Structure 1
Amino acid sequence: MKNADREFEIGDILSFTTGKILSRRGMSGLHVLGAHLAGLSLMTHELGFYSDKLREELLRQHPDLGAVKVPDVCDTQDLETWLSEAESRYGVKRKVSMASDFRTGNPLETFIAMQGRSSRHGNEKPRDGIQGTIGAALGSEEDLN
């Protein structure tokens, strides 16, 4: 097994816990953290699909981050200012452990399951969190059941 613990920037972690992309590394930061938690690489569509599970695991490890509220940030400078304040309050980096029971499905089956939930069909309301941020067409693990 690879290292079970690894440090991540608070912006990467808060991206999952708040549902807003706050990582200075953008989607790359989300991919690296998601892959660490899952113990395997996740495709971009899988980040949204498993975002609830990833969020729950991060909040299990860092429950104090559940209360973090992100203001509506209008530009890069405002985001940088807010993120610097968050780093002062919550730390620049935090240790994250791999999830011990994270299970994923076949990425193709996940993608196919997500297609039935697409807002392009007019039958889905916008989702909160990472799913809403990345796009309303992203599904959830419930779609596989």
Structure 2
Amino acid sequence: MSETEQQIFETYAKDYLPVFNRYKIVLDHGDGVYVWDIAGRKYLDFLGGIAVNVLGYNYPQLVEAIASQAAKIIHASNLYYTKPQADAAEKLAALSGLGKVFFCNSGAEANEGALKIARKYACQIHPEKSQILTAWDSFHGRT
């Protein structure tokens, strides 16, 4: 463990409220499906991001699109209309064939929305098959 890693761990211990256990890896950068720590070690990242940001790392087209949008509005509440969101909704609705899309801001909202949609669909098509099975102690978001 490098001195820099140790300093970062100590800063976290002093200033950060932990809500889950962490791996003793200090990430520095990523490219595609790989990430590197500050000591230069390469890892295959099976997460590709986290939560609602599972995009991988440093894809040129994605970096360009994010930079272009960040120069305009990086994030807006769903209380407002934006053209990029309207365009994304139109494309996703057409691709899915479901007619409508649901945008949300967290994994908890995504999972809760998916459960509600699945239950509504099941109740309309097969009411006898509308139960939702879950895994004990599984994580689906902070609600």
More helix per residue: 1 or 2?
1
Per chain length, whose mean CA-contact separation is higher, i.e. which structure has more relative contact order (CA < 8 Å, sep 6+)? 1
TM range (shorter): under 0.3
**When the two structures are superposed, what TM-score results if normalisation uses the length of structure 1?**
0.22
More strand per residue: 1 or 2?
2
